[in-house]
Amino acid sequence: MEERKMIYLCLAHMSEEGWEQKYVKEAFDTNWVVPMGPNVNAFEQDLAAFANANSDGSRLDRRVVCLSAGTAAVHLALLACGVGPGDEVCVQSFTFCASSHPITYLGATPVFIDSERDTWNMDPDLLEQAILDRKAQTGRYPKAIVPVALYGMPYNCERIMAIADKYGIPVVEDAAEGMGSRFDGQVLGTFGRFGVLSFNGNKMITTSGGGALICRDAEDANTIMWYATQARDAYPYYEHTAIGYNYRMSNICAGIGRGQMTVLADHIAHHKHVQALYEQLLKDVPGVTLHCQPADPRYDANFWLCAATLDADVRIKGQENAYKEVIKTAVGGAAGVIKAVESATTDCQPNDNVEALRMFMLNKKVECRPVWKPMHKQPVYKDAPAYVNGVSEAIFKVGFCLPAGPYVSDDDVRYIVACIKEAIEA
């Protein structure tokens, strides 16, 4: 039998026609090998066309600015909202660090907001409580609100936007994982003042690395573009009245992005298909609960990753070996260097059976990862204010992510579910 290939969480997938390489070649042929150019402009147009098209056929008028990373997009959006030293920003705690780190880049303090049960995203009640409490404690309202479409699931756009409007606080939607997810037929990232997209290698589409900001109007887009190109004033020489950044997207990367736009709709459809299959196959596996979208038909998730939870009383084969060894390499071969640690455990980690399942699946050549560890439980944020209800911490202990995306076939999903069943001790 042919040896099984590793099934990864989410891999980059190029168009069959090779559009990505055609646009990249065009950049070389015309010598636009710089962080601007025809591919960047065209990719921005394509992204705006996509973001502006509501399901009911009506259209919005947002602008899009391409940047070097989603993290850069969060950073500049906050900067344009006026976030600076001493300010506070309300951010969803249950997220990847790129939602909150840029707050600290600006010398501001994140105020972490816990999640609601059904979407796993920012709890609107806690958000309002935090806004009022920060005002009472510091005399000032938070400068911005950052909800996150965790694994592509829309946050409660209606309530979060209503609260933001009530207190006049701008919203930066972190839709990095939620490209193509919709709420009430409208694309995520178009509700707030800014919407963040990411084109990292594992996201819904990729430019190898890159990001974009969906902006309310031409003025905001212009400000973002200015900050992204070192904030230069109109003189024959470089005159600076503000600190800028080198955050513009390369014309080479934008060529990949243009090609990827031809497969975006297919990718979204495939992610939804994989989720539907998991829903069907995991239905009768006791102790395993797939994370599904709320019954409210306005929610339309892209299911960037499929997530599930494992009941604490389920015993997994090999569970006695969980956390016995210090991890030597980044989980899933994630990029970069990870700092060596002394201990295999922390005071807040997934349950032993979840770790055992990860190891079992890895042996079966299936990548299965813990869900994001909430930011309010991260040592680096131990002093940041947090408004918590226990939801994200509880999900972190029982949650795990399963492979999704264009390379995951129906056969793979059946195999993955069979492996999960095999992992559970009778």
Ligand X SMILES: *Cc1c(COP(=O)(O)O)cnc(C)c1O
Least spacing, CB of residue 322 vs ligand X, in Å:
26
179 binds ligand X (CB under 6 A): no
Least spacing, CB of residue 17 vs ligand X, in Å:
25
Q: Which residues contact 171 (CB under 8 A, 6 or more apart)?
A: 144, 145, 146, 147, 160, 161, 164, 191, 192, 193, 194
* Residue count of the chain: 426
Edge-to-edge strands of the sheet including 211-215?
63-67, 211-215, 194-198, 172-174
- Say what the alpha-carbon torsion angle 200, 201, 207, 211 is, to the nearest 10 degrees: -10
Beta partners for residue 112, in sequence order: 91, 386
Q: Of the two residues 176 and 395, which places its CB atom closer to ligand X in the complex?
A: 176
Q: Of the two residues 99 and 251, which places its CB atom closer to ligand X in the complex?
A: 99
Q: Can you tell me whether residue 48 is helix, strand or coil?
A: helix
Widest Cα–Cα separation across the chain: 75
Among 71, 119, 181, 250, binds ligand X (CB under 6 A): 71
What is the distance of C-alpha 314 from the center of its chain? 29
Q: Are strands 88-92 and 109-113 parallel, antiparallel or unpaired?
A: parallel
Which among 65-73, 308-316, 352-360, 417-425 is the span making contact with ligand X, rule CB under 6 A?
65-73
Q: Are 43 and 254 in contact (CB under 8 A)?
A: yes
Binding-residue pattern over the window 180 to 199 for ligand X, x denoting contact by CB under 6 A: ------------------x-
200 binds ligand X (CB under 6 A): yes
255 binds ligand X (CB under 6 A): no
Q: Are 406 and 267 in contact (CB under 8 A)?
A: yes
Backbone angles phi, psi at 366, to 5 degrees: -125, 125
Total residues interacting with ligand X, rule: CB under 6 A: 14
Least spacing, CB of residue 3 vs ligand X, in Å:
31
Least spacing, CB of residue 72 vs ligand X, in Å:
7
Least spacing, CB of residue 118 vs ligand X, in Å:
19
Query: At 224, which helix (H) or strand (E)?
Result: helix 218-228
Q: What are the C-alpha distances in Å from 296 to residues 114, 122, 291, 292, 400?
A: 21, 17, 15, 11, 24
Q: Of the two residues 10 and 282, which places its CB atom closer to ligand X in the complex?
A: 10
Least spacing, CB of residue 174 vs ligand X, in Å:
5
Q: Are 419 and 361 in contact (CB under 8 A)?
A: yes
Among 211, 257, 403, 405, binds ligand X (CB under 6 A): 211
Least spacing, CB of residue 207 vs ligand X, in Å:
9
Q: Of the two residues 74 and 263, which places its CB atom closer to ligand X in the complex?
A: 74
Residue whose C-beta lies closest to ligand X: 70
Q: Of the two residues 360 and 372, which places its CB atom closer to ligand X in the complex?
A: 372
* 117-176 residues near ligand X, rule: CB under 6 A: 148, 174, 176
357 binds ligand X (CB under 6 A): no
Least spacing, CB of residue 12 vs ligand X, in Å:
13
**Distance separating alpha carbons of residues 310 and 400, to the nearest angstrom:** 8
Q: Of the two residues 403 and 420, which places its CB atom closer to ligand X in the complex?
A: 403
**Can you give the binding site for ligand X, defined by CB under 6 A?**
69-71, 95-96, 98-99, 148, 174, 176-177, 198, 200, 211
